[in-house]
Amino acid sequence: MQQNAGFISPPSSSNTSCKRCELFVSLQIIMRFNKTTKALTSRLVNTAAACLLIAGATMSTACNRQSTQLLGDWVDETTVGTTDEGFQLAKAGSAASINRPAVHITHWHIHHKQLILSGKRFENNDVAPFSDTFYIRQNGKKLLVLQHDSTTLRYVRLPMNQRTPRAHIAHDSVAPTPDTP
């Protein structure tokens, strides 16, 4: 057998029929096609896996960047300068309510462009856990716009020199009392 341009030539003999030669060449073409297909499939699988890893890393980075941008004291735009009601988002998912004695936010996290706040509600001497999900419509350095059902909520970030004193931040272990402001 001789190899010629990537194909193995069929054995030459005077008894070899044309049909046999055609069959031999066809089998060689099919075998070469299968090798090429396997190589392409392997490359496609490797490329797809790499793309998924890159997409996952990009999404994780975007979520981390978005989480970092949310750190700080956020107050309802309508209460700025008066009661300054809102929440504080800190590292590692910890959170606190600002001037909201009936709602104690304790934790937060981001999931698919949604801010999830959880904690405890105090109503009629009852304590009930809660978790609220808000769609993040806008996340800027100074403005945070959240959507909850059909309600749009606008929060502004308090500058460092106007940060809420610790006495007005309700933490997990603090329960409201009748004389809480």
* Number of independent structural domains in the chain: 2
- Determine contact, residues 86/74, Cβ cutoff 8 Å: yes
Rg (CA), the chain: 33
Output the pLDDT for position 87: 93
pLDDT digits (tens, 9 = 90+) for 85-111: 999 999 999 999 999 889 999 999 999
Q: What pLDDT is stored for residue 47 in this prediction?
A: 64
The pLDDT of residue 81:
80
Same domain, 97 and 162: yes
Average pLDDT value over all residues in the chain: 75
Q: Is the pLDDT of residue 62 over 60?
A: no
* pLDDT for 60: 42
pTM to 2 decimals? 0.56
Residues 150 and 136 in one domain: yes
Q: Provide the pLDDT for residue 4.
A: 54
Same domain, 60 and 96: no
Residues 79 and 166 in one domain: yes
Is 113 a member of any domain? yes
Give domain status of residue 120, yes or no.
Answer: yes
**Using one digit for the tens of pLDDT, what is the confidence trace for 149-176?**
999 999 999 876 665 554 455 554 444 4
What pLDDT, in 10s, does the model give residues 124-146? 889 999 999 999 999 888 999 99
Judge if 33 and 100 occupy the same domain.
Answer: no
> What pLDDT digit, counting tens, does each position of 20-40 carry?
667 667 777 777 777 777 766
pLDDT score, position 152: 95
The enclosing domain of 131 has a CATH number of: 2.40.128.280
Is residue 50 in a domain? yes
Q: Are residues 97 and 117 in the same domain?
A: yes
Q: Which residues contact 93 (CB under 8 A, 6 or more apart)?
A: 107, 108, 109
Residue 7 lies in a domain: no
pLDDT for 58 equals: 44
- 75 and 163 share a domain? yes
**HSE-up (13 A, CA, CB side) for residue 150:** 0
